[in-house]
Amino acid sequence: MRPILLLVCAASFALAQKKPFDVETMLRISRISEPALSPDGKLVAFTVQTVDLDKNTRPKQIYVVPLEGGIPRQLTHDGTNNERPRWSPDSKQLYFVSNRGGSAQIWAMDPDGGRTRQITRLSTEAGGILVSPDGTKIVFQSNVYPDCGADDACNQKKLDADAKNPVKARVYTSLLYRHWTEWQTNRRSHLLVVDTDGTPSRPPAPTPTFTPCRSPGAMRRKSPSVRAVMTRLFTRPTENTWPSARSSARDTRATASG
C-alpha cells in the first residue's frame, strides 16, 4: 500500500510542477503565415509574427527555409512589420512590404536577405503586392483620394490638409462607416502599378489576379452606391485604364463584404 501512496504523491507533485498553458504561454508561440514557394522550387519564404508584451507590439519578420526542410533563416531585421513576400519569376528577388522607413512601402531583396532596395515612396503607403508573371511590374494596393489617383503630390497635399483641419467630426449617410478598428475616410482602396525597377506608379485601377499570359487580369470591385453589400468581378488588360460598365462583370451579391 505504501509504494502505491508514494507513486500517487510523486505523480501529484509532477503535475503541480508543470506550468499550465495560460495566456502568456500562448502569446509566446510564434505565428507562421504567408508561405510563398520560389518558382525554382528550392525555397519557401514565409512570415513569423511574435508578441512583445513589454512593448505591446507584434513584430513580423520574413524567413526562408529549404523546401526539403532545414533550419529557417531570418531575412529581415529592420522595421516591425515585414510581410507579403513575393518571388520574382526567376527566383532571384523577393519583393515585400515593410515599414522600416516609417511607412508601409514596397521593398526588394536577394533571397539571402542582401541588397535591399526601396521601390515605392508613397504618402498613401503600399500593400497587397502581386508580381506579374514576366517580372516587370508590381500591382499593389494604396488608399488614395479618388480625385488624386496616383498623383502622390496631390495625395500628400490632401493628407496635410486633413491633418491640419481642426474639425474632426464625421458624417456618414451609408454603410460601411467603420471596419474593425478603422474609420472609413474620404480615401478609397485602389490599385496602382509600378515597374520592378521603381518607375513611378500608373493611375489606379480597381484587386487583380494575373492570368498566365499576364493580360487580362481579374479583379474585384465594389459598387460605389452599395459598397457594403455588392462586389463585382471584372477582367481587364493590365495596360488599359479603368474597366467600364461594359466590362465582364459578374455580381457576387451572395458574398457580401464590408
Domain membership of residue 52 (yes or no) is yes
Weakest-pLDDT range from 42-46, 84-88, 173-177? 173-177
Per the DSSP assignment, residues forming a β-bridge with 46 are 63
Residue given cell 519557401 in the structure block: 44
Residue given cell 513580423 in the structure block: 60
> Which pLDDT value is given to residue 151?
92
> Which pLDDT value is given to residue 88?
97
Q: How confident is the model at residue 24 (pLDDT cuts 50, 70, 90)?
A: confident
Domain membership of residue 49 (yes or no) is yes
Domain membership of residue 245 (yes or no) is no
The percent of residues above 70 in pLDDT, for the chain, comes to: 71
> Which pLDDT value is given to residue 201?
53
Weakest-pLDDT range from 14-18, 80-84, 188-192? 14-18
Domain membership of residue 257 (yes or no) is no
169, pLDDT greater than 60: yes
The parent domain of residue 121 ranges over 16-205
Write the pLDDT tens digit of every residue in 188-225.
889 999 999 887 655 544 445 555 544 445 555 554 44
Domain membership of residue 40 (yes or no) is yes
What is the spatial distance between Cα 13 and Cα 10, in angstroms, rounded to a whole number? 5
* Domain of residue 92, CATH code: 2.40.128
Average pLDDT for residues 21-35, to the nearest whole number?
88
User: How many distinct structural domains can be found in the chain?
Assistant: 1
> Which pLDDT value is given to residue 215?
47
Q: Measure CA 22 to chain center.
A: 30
Domain membership of residue 107 (yes or no) is yes
Domain membership of residue 165 (yes or no) is yes
> Which pLDDT value is given to residue 103?
96
> Which pLDDT value is given to residue 198?
80
What's the whole-number average pLDDT of the chain?
Answer: 79
Weakest-pLDDT range from 12-16, 42-46, 77-81, 142-146? 12-16
- Name every residue whose Cβ is closer than 8 Å to that of residue 175 and which is 6 or more positions away in sequence: 227, 228, 229, 258
Average pLDDT for residues 1-16, to the nearest whole number?
47
Report which of 186, 129, 182, 127 is spatially closest to residue 154, judged by C-alpha positions: 186
Cβ count within 10 A of residue 181:
5
Residue 145 · residue 186 · CB < 8 Å? yes
Domain membership of residue 157 (yes or no) is yes
Which has more pLDDT, 45 or 150? 45
Q: How confident is the model at residue 229 (pLDDT cuts 50, 70, 90)?
A: very low
Q: Exposed (0-12), middle (13-18) or buried (19+): which is 14, by Cβ within 10 Å?
A: exposed
Average pLDDT for residues 182-188, to the nearest whole number?
85
Choose the most confident range, by mean pLDDT, from 2-16, 46-60, 178-192, 240-254.
46-60
